Amino acid sequence: MIIQPKHLTKTVILFGLIFLNLIAARSALSQTSPNDILVHYQAQAETQADSMRGQVLFNTRHGNDWSCSTCHGSPPTISGKHASSGKGILPLAPAANDKSLTSLKKTEKWFRRNCRDVLSRECTAQEKTDVVSYLLTLKLN
Amino acid sequence: MIHKPLLLLIASSISLVAYADNDYIRPLSQSKAYQAECASCHMAYQPGLLPAQSWQRIMNNLPNHYGSDASLDSATIKEISTWLIDNAGTYEHVSNPPKDDRITESTWFKRKHRKIVEEVWLRASIKSPAQCMACHSAAANGNYDDDFVKIPK
């Protein structure tokens, strides 16, 4: 198929649009949303997400000095503070921080570390589901 | 003829003054991984503040990191450990691993802060000797110079 000079502009525009769409699709696919993360954990959990249960878990101390809210605040729609170092922590609630819960790798890392600190063990998939669903209920007033 | 002892006295005074002003600590290179992983809870302490031995122990014990779990995947541990050890302190006064591998337990640290009374460390604006930036506001850039120290109330 020979592209004639009179079709050149249209061809360029066509390929340009295809290219742009591919880029948009690619970035849309690689971007994780908080909802994707909820879906991911829900798939491994035994029962349906319960945001009330998540709220209780978040605010309770589990045998150690800290609860989740000790550093993240209650509700975590405001900036938190590390209990030892005082270092500022960006808000956990996606409504208050559009970077929160957008990377499964990071979410997993922080769950691992912080559950071990708060509960002396890893959180179960159910617990993570409940907490994530709780965080998603939070709105800014 | 110039009086030799006098000359020696002047020369040694100059070198002492130059050293006393040289409280800038910067690693030879930067590590994005170190910044991202290790500065999320506290200041990114410069690798030159501890000997390699201390850094090695810290990186091998991340789940028990001074009261917190700071665990990481092994690939990131390897990357950060290499950088820390490459840039670790080599001057004489940093070569001895301090107690608990804590920077604040180093002999040189205690000596530098010998005039700070206990009450100061406990102020809400400071909390502990580990919060360098409370008084050394440019600590993240490696500036620990006396001239820039402001102790908050």
ipTM of the complex: 0.73
Task: Give the residue from chain B lying closest to A90, CA to CA.
Answer: B40
B40 chain-A contacts, CB cut-off 8 A: 87
Alpha-carbon distance A51 to B38, whole Å?
A: 31
B86 phi, psi to nearest 5 deg: -65, -35
Round the average pLDDT of chain B to a whole number and report it: 88
DSSP H or E segment with residue A88: strand A88-89
**Torsional class of A57: left (φ above 0), alpha (ψ -120 to 50), beta (otherwise):** alpha
pLDDT, mean of residues B45-61: 96
pLDDT, mean of residues B20-34: 78
Q: pLDDT value at position B13?
A: 52
pLDDT over threshold 60, residue A27: no
Q: Which range is least confidently modeled, A15-24, A113-122, B3-12, B142-151?
A: B3-12
pLDDT over threshold 90, residue B21: no
Alpha-carbon distance A101 to A136, whole Å?
A: 10
A113 and B68: CB-CB below 8 Å? Answer: yes
Task: Give the residue from chain A lying closest to B128, CA to CA.
Answer: A85
Interface-testing mutation among A68, A113, A115, with chain B (most B C-beta atoms within 10 A)? A113
A84 chain-B contacts, CB cut-off 8 A: 41-42, 66-68, 128
**Which of B70, B130, B131 faces A113 most closely, judged by CB atoms?**
B70
A81 phi, psi to nearest 5 deg: -145, 130
The chain B residues in contact with chain A (CB within 8 A) are 40-43, 63, 66-73, 127-128, 130-131
At B16, the pLDDT band (50, 70, 90 cuts) reads: very low
B68 and A117: CB-CB below 8 Å? Answer: yes
In this structure, what is the dihedral angle of CA atoms B132, B135, B140, B141, given to the nearest 10 degrees?
-130
pLDDT, mean of residues B32-58: 95
pLDDT over threshold 60, residue A9: yes
Q: Which of B131, B86, B19 is nearest to A86 (CA)?
A: B131
Q: Which range is least confidently modeled, A27-31, A120-124, B80-84?
A: A27-31
Q: At CB < 8 A and 24+ separation, what contacts does B112-118 make?
A: B116/B151
A33 compared with B25, residue with greater pLDDT: A33
pLDDT over threshold 80, residue A6: no
What confidence tens digit (pLDDT) does each residue in A101-125 have? 999 999 999 999 999 999 999 999 9
A84 and B131: CB-CB below 8 Å? Answer: no
Alpha-carbon distance A71 to A85, whole Å?
A: 10
Opening angle at CA B47, ends B149 and B36, nearest 5 = 95
The answer to whether the CB of A41 falls within 8 A of the CB of A132 is yes
Kindly report the length of chain A.
141
Counting Cα atoms < 13 Å in the Cβ hemisphere of B27 gives 21
At B19, the pLDDT band (50, 70, 90 cuts) reads: very low
Q: pLDDT value at position B30?
A: 87
What lies within 8 Å, CB to CB, of B145 at 6+ separation is B21, B23, B24
pLDDT over threshold 90, residue B3: no
Q: Which range is least confidently modeled, A40-44, B84-88, B91-95, B107-111?
A: B91-95
Q: Domain boundaries in chain A?
A: 34-137
**Residue B51 Cα distances to B39, B71, B85, B98, angstroms:** 19, 21, 8, 9
Q: Which CATH number fits domain A34-137: 1.20.1440.80, 1.10.10.10, 1.10.760.10, 3.30.499.10?
A: 1.10.760.10
What lies within 8 Å, CB to CB, of A104 at 6+ separation is A32, A36, A37, A40
Q: Which amino acid is at B12?
A: S
Q: pLDDT value at position B126?
A: 92
What lies within 8 Å, CB to CB, of B63 at 6+ separation is A116, B69, B70, B71
Task: Give the residue from chain A lying closest to B38, CA to CA.
Answer: A87
B71 and A112: CB-CB below 8 Å? Answer: yes
Round the average pLDDT of chain A to a whole number and report it: 91
Q: Which amino acid is at B138?
A: A
pLDDT, mean of residues B43-61: 96
Q: pLDDT value at position B12?
A: 53
Task: Give the residue from chain A lying closest to B44, CA to CA.
Answer: A87
Share above pLDDT 90 across residues of chain B, in percent, rounded to a whole number: 71
B127 and A85: CB-CB below 8 Å? Answer: yes
A82 and B41: CB-CB below 8 Å? Answer: yes
Q: Which amino acid is at A46?
A: E
The chain A residues in contact with chain B (CB within 8 A) are 82, 84-87, 109, 112-114, 116-117
pTM above 0.95, yes or no: no
pLDDT over threshold 60, residue B17: no
